[in-house]
A and B are shown apart, each in its own frame.
Chain A
């Protein structure tokens, strides 16, 4: 910030597709000179203003908070979900991580369970369906005991929060060769299985969420670990191991089916 940096020029190859059933194709856009302090999404803003001035349709992309927490943004940049920086959402990826003259390929998250909408926008509604299948504790408003009634070991709370940090962006699914949602489901099942509040529905939650995952055309885990590498929040595949254990435990021990 304090030192002036040389502006850079890039060649963008962006996936354009006017609708879910329309054919898509890459289009090339030279951009620059741009400040390296600009974020990738700000670069798209600048490109879109320019396209608008020229009478062309701007690139549609999802985004909202632009500080890496809402989970709305996401695209595959140079073959990697959310781009080349580890533990970074697309909105927090800055141009300083690219070199002058680079070609940057930007395409939507691709997965059978995430149908395309337009350009870089896809439909991740399947994640909401997964949560509706059991990603909660069934406690009505007003029915809660005093908060400190049930002590929670500090380590358990921290571990639960590690899993609960998931922002639901879908990068794990986009990065997985099988388009599996195991990391997403594993994170939610782990978050609640690690806390005493999640205990009563522990088995039922694991069974229902796994069943729903299969129904929604998500693939199976092949232990590629690509999800962990792509996750902007650093969610670990330990959560997938825990999901497998929870599922097995539920299938064997539970009276619920």
Chain B
């Protein structure tokens, strides 16, 4: 259905053996003269782990940095909500871990749809990240001897995950935020909170700055720089309900797409198996319960569909431990995508529990009997409290109920090995890019990637780009800048002028349900085609019947949301198109047409061992470009957990 893809994209992967690429590359990159660094300015959009780490590190090098974030403070990016931990190949446990093993696990977990050279580099810098964070005073868990503690996470066979109770993301982000605020205090960084990027300015083929809206005054501002860095997170909120923060959105990335940055693998969305189920139409977001719970709990549903007895009254023989039965080797610890799909399958058969029938039990009773209540509470006490706070049910007395929820987006703007997009001068970091997690992200690797990109990769590669530019101050009042700024203002006015009857969330909710049904845990051609037809209908209604109170010259949270939903309504089509084009199953992307006899995902390496990167073409269907994925140090295998 698409025009035939254009020739391969060049990822600019350095030559040489996999293990030496990054070192050789770093030594060969051009450098900016230290005295000249202050003449270069860099815009960083987003202040989560990747953005804050990059901004602090760039400022330390001497560049002038401007940081933008939506929230009132750069300490609030959604990285803060990551619970589990961060992987590194330190091998402190002497359990046979190594950089190669971390690389191998990550690329296999991504179902061989990530770029090998990037993943290897990620594993290489993982150890430096831990060093850096410890030096910043991040209070990681410790052993009695004073050394750093590790745990096994997400079914990994080595203990390589560093953690700070259930709030590793918070502690790492506060470390990066401290580093950032140190540079703000030193005058090297200008911090602009409560700003939303509305557009990317591309002039003479290079990213030259952004247009941003001051969310307090409504003023549309023009900010120019020598390079623009997007660290704006993922697009999971396209589904309306997800574990993302309320303000997480695709706008910055989508606007960059419309200005020439290719969007890669937008259909790769991770749906996390252990979230608190939906409990009402008014619900605003979903809450993740850490994956670590699956280490000790057993997942089950009643054997008989329609069995509504309370869990305690269902005898052992009438309980279906579906993961343990189907996957005897891995049991409850199968990867996230496999666990999620199986939970959905059970609920589709009418075996789901709870008021809505869209939940399965996560039961600690056997572990409590085996290890004692005190031990279980010591391990999971804070998670139990969190669960009880939300649901008013004590998981010690009654099994938890969980259901999969949208959690993380592996797709994102396409970047080369230098993390530069197809727009020269536009760099993309963290969840906003696509490169390291392939078709499925492993636990404890999002924090690792955000910090690798921000602390260690971008600060080196951006210099190579800047070294080729004259250090002339960029002009934020150029005709191109003024024109893009005018377009942004028109767009805001357009939203306010619709004058319809319905609030913005109503459209967002409808879009979310449509995607969840047809572009969620399982996808097929008929459903995707149907969704592709319905998205433009919702969009047309949105532009006809949206009601926005207030004006554009003040804090107007409905207006903010409307702008984001307007972009989701266009972006959703790109996601569906990508899902439709990739007729294989891989990782999180399960095409019902492509499964094995055991109903497992069947990859098609012959036809799909590539990244699909989509180019925006005004008035036409997006054009697919491909980056073929070559594996020199691993052999793609069919994942099997049975």
Tell which of A142, A165, A192 has the most Cβ of chain B within 10 Å.
A142
Give the CA-CA distance A154 to B145 in the complex, in Å: 7
Residues A128 and B547 in contact in the complex (CB < 8 Å), given A69-B81, A160-B139: no
Q: Counting CB contacts under 8 A, is B75 at the interface?
A: yes
B538 at the interface (CB under 8 A from A): no
Q: Which residues of B contact A117 (CB under 8 A)?
A: 216, 555
Cβ-closest chain B residue relative to A194? B139
Q: How far is the CA of A137 from the CA of B131 in the complex (A)?
A: 13
Find out whether the CB atom of A56 lies under 8 angstroms from the CB atom of B549: yes
CA distance A142 to B53 in the complex (A): 12
Identify which of residues 397-436 in chain B touch chain A, using a CB-to-CB cut-off of 8 Å: 398, 401
Report yes or no: B354 in contact with A191, Cβ–Cβ below 8 A: no
Given contacts A45-B284, A51-B549, A64-B246, contact A198 B554 (CB under 8 A): no
Tell me if A141 and B285 are in contact (CB < 8 A).
Answer: no
* Set A1, A65, A165: member contacting B81, Cβ < 8 A: A65
- The answer, yes or no, to whether B326 is at the interface (CB within 8 Å) is no
- B456 in contact (CB, < 8 A): yes
A183-236 residues at the B interface, CB under 8 angstroms: 191-192, 195, 197-198
Is B358 an interface position by the 8 A CB rule?
Answer: no
A178 at the B interface (CB under 8 A): no
User: Which single member of B90, B144, B549 contacts A147 (CB below 8 Å)?
Assistant: B90
Which A residue sits closest to B90, measured CB to CB? Answer: A147
Known: A42-B284, A144-B132, A153-B146. A128 touches B501 (CB 8 A): no
- Does A257 lie at the interface of the complex (its beta carbon under 8 Å from any beta carbon of B)? no
Q: What separation, in Å, do the CA atoms of A125 and B76 have in the docked complex?
A: 12
Closest chain B residue, CB of each to CB of A134: B185
Count of chain A to chain B residue pairs whose CB atoms are closer than 8 Å in the complex: 232
Chain B contacts of A88 at CB under 8 A?
389
Q: Is there contact, CB below 8 Å, between A135 and B181?
A: yes
Asked if A57 and B549 sit within 8 Å, CB to CB, the answer is: yes
List of B residues within 8 angstroms of A23 by Cβ: none
Complex Cα distance A180/B386, Å?
A: 29
A128 touches B279 (CB 8 A): no
| A70 touching B165, Cβ below 8 Å | no
Q: Are B280 and A64 in touch, CB under 8 angstroms?
A: no
Which of A57, A158, A161 touches B171 (beta carbons < 8 Å)?
Answer: A161
Give the residues in chain A near B191, CB-CB below 8 Å. 128
Chain B 489-502 interface mask (CB, 8 Å, partner A; 1/0): 00000000000011
CB–CB B245/A65 < 8 A = yes
Is A148 a contact of B148 with CB atoms below 8 Å?
yes
B224: interface (CB < 8 Å): no
**Chain B residue contacts of A67, Cβ below 8 A:** 81, 285, 287-288, 386
- Known contacts A69-B81, A141-B455, then 13 further A-B pairs from the complex at CB < 8 Å, ordered by chain A residue: A2-B393, A34-B282, A37-B391, A52-B558, A60-B555, A65-B246, A70-B71, A94-B392, A139-B179, A150-B134, A152-B146, A165-B167, A197-B137
Q: Which 8 pairs between the two chains have the least Cβ-Cβ distance?
A: A151-B146, A136-B178, A144-B135, A132-B185, A161-B139, A144-B131, A141-B57, A52-B503
Interface residue ranges, B against A (CB under 8 Å): 53, 56-57, 60, 71-76, 78, 80-81, 90, 92, 128, 130-137, 139-148, 164-165, 167, 170-171, 174, 177-179, 181-182, 184-185, 191, 193, 216, 245-247, 279-280, 282-285, 287-288, 310, 354-355, 386, 389-393, 398, 401, 455-456, 459, 501-503, 505-506, 547-550, 554-555, 557-558
The residues of A with any CB-CB pair to B shorter than 8 Å are 1-2, 4, 18-19, 34-35, 37-39, 41-42, 45-46, 48-49, 51-53, 55-58, 60, 62-72, 88, 92, 94, 96, 117-118, 121, 123-125, 127-128, 131-133, 135-148, 150-154, 157-158, 160-161, 164-165, 167-168, 191-192, 195, 197-198
